[in-house]
Amino acid sequence: MLQVRDIETFYGETQVLFGTTLEVGAGEVVALLGANGVGKTTTIRSILGLTPATAGSVRFDGADVTRRPTHEIARLGIGWVPDDRRIFPTLTVAQNLAIARRSTRFRSWRLEEMFEIFSALEHLMRRDSENLSGGEMQMVAISRALLGSPGLVLFDEPSQGLAPKIVQDVMKTIRRLRDEGIACLVVEQNAVSALEVADRVYVMSHGRMVHEGPAADLLADDGLRRRLLGI
Ligand SMILES: Nc1ncnc2c1ncn2[C@@H]1O[C@H](COP(=O)(O)OP(=O)(O)OP(=O)(O)O)[C@@H](O)[C@H]1O
């Protein structure tokens, strides 16, 4: 579904990605881990064309999207759950969700299905989004991504700032998406939660991948985990 090959990305003169390569298959959850500042968010930004790669390629669903504008890339079926959620604060929850609707070649989701996944969401629909708690915002951010009919969802730090029970709900939702055949790329500081939900994992350091393999292997190998992730 997603193939990122040898991408190089800069902020101005500063190079952040030095030949980053990764793949996510349909119905696969892939975790992207690594210390602060190694380039995980920049990898997501390059996939979405927000900070386009200057070398290498990004392919989604068979199409080369490397230097296409972000709105075109999103319209092909890439959903994004950003680390700062980016919910429009002056709109209600219902309005935030209404403007996210999009049809793609992938499965579309009904609002009622969002209410099944997040039982609290139905009662939040009329609320102004600026008054939501962190967990409520995350429900809205994930629902918004799904209402855009994605084939791939990019999650940036989905558990950041959330209570443990809500983190469990988010991870359960990611499993559900996988079961529906949606590809998920999950950038996380909370490495254990990410490894528990992921099929495969990449570990990044200084803009390059330094490890790739089954998530279960890294979860089981204390020595390797300590060396790569310090935990
Ligand atoms: N807009 C920007 N302008 C200049 N440099 C940036 C910008 N955004 C990020 N950087 C730098 O790029 C590097 C990689 O940042 P990035 O956010 O991709 O890392 P990360 O692995 O996602 O880390 P974190 O978990 O802290 O978000 C860092 O050194 C960061 O300071």
Contact (Cβ atoms closer than 8 angstroms) between residue 138 and residue 170:
yes
* Beta pairing class for 78-81 and 152-156: parallel
**pLDDT tens sequence across 90-142:** 999 999 999 999 999 999 999 999 999 998 999 999 999 998 999 999 999 99
Give the SS3 label for residue 121: helix
Q: Output the pLDDT for position 165.
A: 86
Q: Output the pLDDT for position 85.
A: 84
- Residues recorded for the chain: 231
**ipTM summary value:** 0.93
CATH topology of domain 2-83+152-229: Rossmann fold (3.40.50)
Q: Output the pLDDT for position 84.
A: 83
- Give the residue among 130, 133, 131, 114 at the shortest CA–CA distance from 122: 114
Question: Which residue has the CA at smallest separation from atom 5 of ligand 1?
Answer: 11
Ligand 1, residues 14, 18, 32, 41: which to mutate, most atoms within 8 A of Cβ? 41
Amino acid, single-letter form, for residue 53 = A
The domain spans of the chain are 2-83+152-229
Provide the pLDDT confidence category of residue 189 given band limits of 50, 70 and 90.
Answer: confident
Beta partners for 184?
A: 29, 153
Would you say the pTM of this structure is higher than 0.90?
Answer: yes
Q: Ligand 1 within 6 A of 39 CB?
A: yes
Residues 206, 4, 172, CA angle at the centre, nearest 5°? 90
Q: Output the pLDDT for position 46.
A: 97
